[in-house]
């Protein structure tokens, strides 16, 4: 019998070796893809809400006429946060708290509630309210957003400081904050100075606004809440959309 050459033996051996089966391709179900997308979206939303931007609504008239009951705001939570490097300040527009900034903070007497007021006094400054003027370190400040009206007896936010307040020195690590509606605002004149570490962020802009009353924000019934929510769309203040808060 003819002898096979070594080369032909190798070729035969290669031909006889079974080919590898293709690896199975794992394919996600449509339901799982939707679930993963939802989970990622929720995580991103929680991250943004915790560290970057938070929504806030105005339930009282303490900041009128600059902020109205029914205004829905976006609050920048990054602007006052600590920076690891100097480039963060330029990238995120970070800056220290300044007089005139409108800030959202934890109400010191009830930390689970958020308040919004304007920064008037900084640490170490001596502040006094005399008549319809705010005096800081002996000099009246430029206060274009202040609004003075007769006291409302039906509003628990209302105060009575027509005879003045202070002078008092703002302690280190604290702020003096006032509502723009000076005669109808429960602010530092009532409950004292605000610890800086209770500030959550700076108010940016109004993203939605509708005509509302104080009572609508305190209704707890589900039916009443649904009625108020549905009727709100017919009472939208279109001119206040994307109103930048000064």
CA distance 170 to 122: 6
Give the ranges where the chain is alpha helix by DSSP (H): 6-16, 30-51, 86-92, 188-191, 222-232
> Which residues are catalytically annotated?
62, 117
CB 121 within 8 A of CB 136: yes
Q: Distances in Å between the alpha carbon of 85 and those of 40, 47, 90, 199?
A: 28, 21, 10, 22
* The token pair that represents 177 in the structure block: 């904050």
- Residue 79: name the closest of 97, 100, 58 by CA: 97
Closest CA to 102 of 141, 131, 145: 145
Q: Is the dihedral of CA 130, 136, 139, 140 positive or negative?
A: negative
Give the number of C-alpha atoms closer than 13 A to the C-alpha of residue 241, restricted to the C-beta side. Answer: 5
């Amino acid at each position: 019998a003819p002898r096979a050459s070594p080369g032909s033996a190798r070729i035969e051996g290669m031909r006889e070796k079974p080919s590898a089966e293709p690896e199975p391709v794992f394919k996600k179900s449509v339901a799982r893809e939707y679930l993963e997308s939802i989970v990622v979206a929720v995580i991103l939303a929680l991250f943004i809400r915790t560290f970057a931007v938070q929504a806030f609504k105005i339930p009282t008239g303490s900041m009128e006429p600059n902020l109205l009951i029914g205004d829905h705001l976006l609050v920048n939570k990054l602007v006052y946060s600590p920076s690891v490097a100097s480039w963060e300040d330029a990238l995120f527009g970070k800056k220290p708290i300044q007089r005139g900034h409108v800030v959202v903070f934890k109400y010191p007497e009830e930390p689970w509630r958020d308040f919004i007021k304007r920064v008037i006094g900084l640490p170490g400054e001596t502040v006094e309210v005399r008549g319809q003027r705010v005096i800081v370190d002996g000099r009246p400040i430029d206060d274009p957003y202040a609004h003075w009206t007769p006291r409302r007896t039906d509003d628990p936010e209302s105060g009575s400081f027509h005879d003045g307040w202070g002078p008092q020195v703002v302690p280190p690590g604290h702020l003096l904050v006032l509502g723009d509606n000076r005669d109808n605002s429960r602010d530092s004149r009532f409950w004292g100075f605000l610890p800086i570490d209770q500030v959550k962020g700076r108010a940016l802009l109004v993203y939605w606004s509708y005509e509302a009353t104080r009572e609508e924000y305190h209704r707890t019934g589900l039916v009443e809440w649904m009625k108020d929510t549905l009727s709100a769309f017919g009472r939208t203040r279109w001119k206040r959309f994307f109103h930048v808060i000064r």
